[in-house]
Copies of this chain bind each other. A is one copy, B any other.
Amino acid sequence: MSARYEALLSRLHTLSDMQKSVAVLYWDRETFMPVHGNTGRTQQITTLNQLAHEMATSTQMADLLAAAEQEQSSAAYDSDVACLLRHVRRQFDEDRLFSTDFVRRRSEVTGAAGAAWAEARERNDFAAFRLHLESAVEIAQESAEILGYADEKYDALLNQYERGMKTAAVRDIFATVKRETVPLIQAIGERLDAIDDRVLYQPFAIDAQRTFCRQAAASIGYDFTRGHLAEVQHPFSTSFGRDDVRITTRYQPDFATSAIFATLHESGHALYEQGIADALSRTPLAQGTSSGIHESQSRLFENQVGRSLGYWQNHFTSLQAHFPAQLGNVSVTQFHRAINKVQPSLIRVEADELTYNMHIILRFELEQALVNGDLQVADLPGAWRDGMQALLGITPPDDTQGVLQDVHWSQAAFGYFPTYTLGNLYAAMFMAAAKEQDTHIAADLERGDVVRLLAWLRTHIHQHGSKFDAPELCRRATGQELTAVPFLRYAREKFGRLYGLSN
Complex contact A244–B48 (CB within 8 A): no
| Contact present for A240 and B37 (CB under 8 Å) | yes
Docked Cα-Cα span, A226 to B21, in Å, equals 22
**Cα distance A246–B33 in the bound complex, in angstroms:** 9
What string of 1s and 0s marks CB contacts (under 8 Å) between A218-249 and chain B? 00000011111010000000001101101000
Known: A47-B14, A228-B32. A243 touches B21 (CB 8 A): no
Known: A17-B48, A21-B21, A24-B24. Contact between A240 and B40, CB under 8 A? Answer: yes
In whole angstroms, how far apart are the Cα atoms of A48 and B243 in the complex? Answer: 19
10 A–B pairs (Cβ distance < 8 Å), ordered by A: A13-B43, A17-B44, A18-B44, A21-B21, A24-B44, A32-B230, A33-B244, A34-B225, A34-B243, A43-B282
A39 at the binding interface (Cβ < 8 Å): yes
A37's partner among B32, B244, B282 (CB-CB below 8 A) is B244
**What string of 1s and 0s marks CB contacts (under 8 Å) between A1-24 and chain B?**
000000000000110011011001
- Is A28 in the interface zone, CB < 8 Å from B? yes
Flag A62-96 by CB within 8 Å of B: 1 or 0 each: 00000000000000000000000000000000000
Asked whether, in the complex, the Cβ of A18 is within 8 Å of the Cβ of B40, the reply is no
Q: Which B-chain residue is minimally distant from A281 (CB atoms)?
A: B40
Once the chains bind, are B44 and A20 in contact (CB under 8 Å)? yes
- The answer to whether A240 and B18 touch (CB under 8 A), given A34-B225, A34-B226, A225-B36, is no
**CB-defined contacts of A24 to chain B, threshold 8 Å:** 24-25, 28, 44
CB-CB under 8 A from A31, the residues of chain B are 32
* Protomer copies: 2
Q: Is the CB of B227 within 8 A of A34?
A: yes
B282 touches A39 (CB 8 A): no
Q: What's the Cα separation between A18 and B46 when bound, in Å?
A: 10
Given known A28-B28, A47-B14, A51-B51, contact A243–B20 (CB-CB < 8 A): no
A153 to B205, CA, bound (A): 59
**Interface residue ranges of A389-415 to B (CB < 8 Å):** none
Chain B residue nearest to A22 in the complex (CB): B21
List, in ascending order, chain B residues with CB within 8 A of A33's CB.
228, 244
A208 to chain B: closest CB distance in Å? 14
Chain B residues with CB below 8 A from A39, complex form: 243
Complex Cα gap A139–B390 (Å)? 69
Question: Could you tell me if A40 and B241 are in contact, using CB atoms closer than 8 angstroms?
Answer: yes
Q: Which residues of B contact A228 (CB under 8 A)?
A: 32-34
User: Does B21 lie within 8 Å of A48, measured CB to CB?
Assistant: yes
**A35 is an interface residue with CB less than 8 A from chain B:** yes
Residue from A27, A244, A282 having most chain B Cβ neighbours under 10 A: A244
